[in-house]
């Protein structure tokens, strides 16, 4: 399961610019399903129009494979990529269910691009990977 974030106020569509997002919904998405991990809302005083407003959002999304938003500024893109989070720009009003469905289809097949890289990162960071290898009879 990969954590995927969506800039949304209605939890149904992507309807926010990353930097001005009032809320994010984070789902754990896998080939077989998806489940809600977290909903985070930001108070207006945290969105005062300066670069520092990104800090809390980027910290929240650390560990996510991607974030979907209507727009994402260049500075935020650089900072997200540095944290291993793939920024994804979609049209305002894009259905979160449709995006999740597309991700599930790709995860069930042969993921490519950023999704394949996210899976590789997740596999490398999984502390249980050696235990599962041992359970399968893996030997060096």
Q: What's the pLDDT score for residue 46?
A: 44
Q: What's the pLDDT score for residue 124?
A: 77
C-alpha–C-alpha distance, residues 57 and 90, integer Å: 18
pTM: 0.84
Q: What's the pLDDT score for residue 47?
A: 46
- CATH architecture under which domain 2-135 falls: 2-Layer Sandwich (3.30)
C-alpha–C-alpha distance, residues 73 and 59, integer Å: 17
For residues 11 and 25, the answer to whether their CB atoms sit within 8 Å is: yes
Q: What's the pLDDT score for residue 127?
A: 55
| Cα 58–Cα 39–Cα 52 angle in degrees, nearest 5 | 25
Q: How far is CA 97 from the centre of its chain?
A: 14
Q: What's the pLDDT score for residue 52?
A: 67
Burial of 130 (0-12, 13-18, 19+ CB in 10 A): exposed
- R_g of the chain, CA atoms, integer Å: 16
Structure tokens at 86: 């793939």
C-alpha–C-alpha distance, residues 108 and 39, integer Å: 26
Q: What is the pLDDT of residues 9-44, one digit of tens each?
A: 999 999 999 999 999 999 999 999 999 999 999 876
Q: What's the pLDDT score for residue 1?
A: 92
Q: What's the pLDDT score for residue 112?
A: 87
Intervals of the chain under pLDDT 70: 44-52, 125-140
C-alpha–C-alpha distance, residues 68 and 89, integer Å: 6
């Amino acid at each position: 399961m990969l954590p995927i974030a969506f800039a949304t106020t209605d939890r149904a569509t992507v309807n926010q610019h990353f930097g001005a997002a009032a809320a994010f919904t984070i789902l754990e998405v896998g080939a077989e399903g998806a489940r809600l991990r977290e909903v985070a809302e930001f108070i207006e005083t945290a969105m005062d129009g300066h670069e520092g407003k990104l800090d809390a959002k980027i910290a929240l999304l650390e560990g996510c494979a991607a974030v979907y938003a209507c727009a994402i500024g260049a500075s935020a893109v650089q900072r997200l990529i540095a944290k291993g989070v793939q920024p994804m720009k979609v049209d305002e009003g894009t259905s979160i269910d449709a995006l999740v469905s597309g991700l599930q289809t790709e995860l069930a097949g042969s993921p490519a691009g950023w999704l394949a890289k996210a899976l590789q990162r997740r596999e490398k960071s999984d502390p249980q990977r050696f235990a599962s290898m041992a359970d399968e009879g893996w030997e060096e």
